[in-house]
Amino acid sequence: KMKILQVSTPFLPIREDLKYGGTERVVFLLDQELNRLGHDVTVAAPKTSKPIGKLYRTIEVDIGVSDNFIEEEGKEDDSISLTRQINQTNLRLEHIARTVRFANSQDFDVVHIHDDNVVPFMPLINSPSLLTLHCYYSGEFWDSFLHPNITNLSVNLVSISKDQKRIYEQYGFKVRDVVYNGVDENKFSLSNIKNDFVFSLGIIHPRKGQHEAIEAGKRSGLDVIIAGNIGIPSYFEKEIAPNITHDISNQENKLEAYLDLPGESGGRVVYAGEVNDVQKKDLFSNARAFLMPITRPEPFGLVMVEAMLSGTPVIAYRCGSVPEIVSDGKNGYIVKDVDEMKKAISKVENLSSQECRDYA
């Protein structure tokens, strides 16, 4: 039995009903499994968190994932923007300070950190510690706070894909190992019955490429269901909203709402809004394919595994961790553009739903 402290981010709470937040979801699942195995686990996270084990509250409010994305210049008053940045910085520092103080007040066997902001302060933690890298290398952050020679002497870094490890090592950082993220397979069920739509799930953001998912789906003659919270409002208004034919974001049962839409299927673009685990389960399992036309590397991509566990092939651009997760022609297809994505959609019926799940 080990005494473990997991340090989450200050952005979102740790709880089962999260609608988004990949890092926070991983922390919750690790907490759940480590408790099941009989370990003594504490999670350091914002006040509204509800982990399976113990909670150490770091800050009173969640910063919010949307605050990580900055709109184009001129969209808001500079003084308001500066005030918000200062408030965010203060909350992050409070999260770090309270976490380090708490970690040193207890005799933990290991401190597992999931928040990059804590990295410069890891040498202050008395217990053995490691950081799981959940993002790609950001020169602005890492170059401002750290130098590889210093970090490699005092911080244990673990990556979530080989591609992520390669990028960090390219900049001189030593990464100890690669440990892929886990998914609770019991939350996703295989379905051999597929409806006439393709599915895309992720924060609405240019780097997720939802506009290309819409184009590929429309060219294939299928409906496209887009789900996710809006990260960049201007992108949503310019590239996504004009294509939406039906909005079911206010409906509780997303699949039922889609099936009740008037008219024949084919070429419709449906916005489902944010979805929780129950809502996305049916969308994953009933889709012909899951589309992931990302324009920037993904360190891992939980949604790809969730789709496969639902018996749904993944069609994604060759970027980041995609080649490590998608086996081309086995559980999906790796493509390079909208034309290839459209062709791949027409071939998914050749793939086995059971093989997709078994592979995941």
Q: What is the pLDDT at residue 71?
A: 41
Average pLDDT over residues 29-40: 96
How far apart are the C-alpha atoms of 152 and 176, rounded to whole Å? 10
Provide the token pair at 190.
Answer: 């295989």
Of 82-91, 174-183, 187-196, 275-284, minimum mean pLDDT range: 82-91
Q: How confident is the model at residue 142 (pLDDT cuts 50, 70, 90)?
A: confident
Choice between 276 and 210, residue whose per-residue pLDDT is larger:
210
Provide the percentage of residues in the chain whose pLDDT is more than 70: 94
Q: What is the pLDDT at residue 351?
A: 95
* Residue 147 pLDDT > 90: no
Residue-wise pLDDT for 70-126, tens only, equals: 344 344 455 557 777 777 788 889 999 999 999 999 999 999 999 988 988 999 999
Q: Measuring CA to CA, which residue among 339, 306, 310, 344 is closest to residue 325? A: 306
Average pLDDT, the chain: 90
Average pLDDT over residues 44-57: 93
Asked if 208 contacts 202 with a C-beta cutoff of 8 angstroms, the reply is yes
Asked if 224 contacts 197 with a C-beta cutoff of 8 angstroms, the reply is yes
Q: How confident is the model at residue 65 (pLDDT cuts 50, 70, 90)?
A: low
User: 338-345 vs 210-220: helix axis angle to the nearest 10?
Assistant: 50
Average pLDDT over residues 318-338: 96
Reduce the DSSP state of residue 73 to 3 states and report it.
coil
- H helices of the chain, in order, are 22-36, 78-105, 139-145, 148-154, 162-170, 210-220, 233-235, 254-259, 277-286, 302-309, 322-325, 338-345, 353-359
Reduce the DSSP state of residue 347 to 3 states and report it.
coil
Asked if 158 contacts 179 with a C-beta cutoff of 8 angstroms, the reply is yes
Residues 6+ apart with CB under 8 A from 37: none
Of 14-23, 117-126, 204-213, 216-225, minimum mean pLDDT range: 14-23
Reduce the DSSP state of residue 11 to 3 states and report it.
coil
Q: What is the pLDDT at residue 154?
A: 79
Q: Measuring CA to CA, which residue among 299, 290, 352 is closest to residue 322? A: 299
Q: What is the pLDDT at residue 8?
A: 94
Average pLDDT over residues 213-217: 96
Q: What is the pLDDT at residue 88?
A: 79
C-alpha distances (whole Å) from 273 to each of 13, 70, 247, 250, 307 are: 20, 21, 8, 8, 18
Asked if 285 contacts 191 with a C-beta cutoff of 8 angstroms, the reply is yes
User: 277-286 vs 302-309: helix axis angle to the nearest 10?
Assistant: 60
Q: What is the pLDDT at residue 62?
A: 65
Q: What is the pLDDT at residue 73?
A: 37
Per 3-state DSSP, what percentage of the chain is helix, strand, and coil (rounded to 5)?
40, 15, 40
Asked if 18 contacts 9 with a C-beta cutoff of 8 angstroms, the reply is no
* Residue 320 pLDDT > 90: yes
Average pLDDT over residues 245-272: 94
Q: What is the pLDDT at residue 90?
A: 85
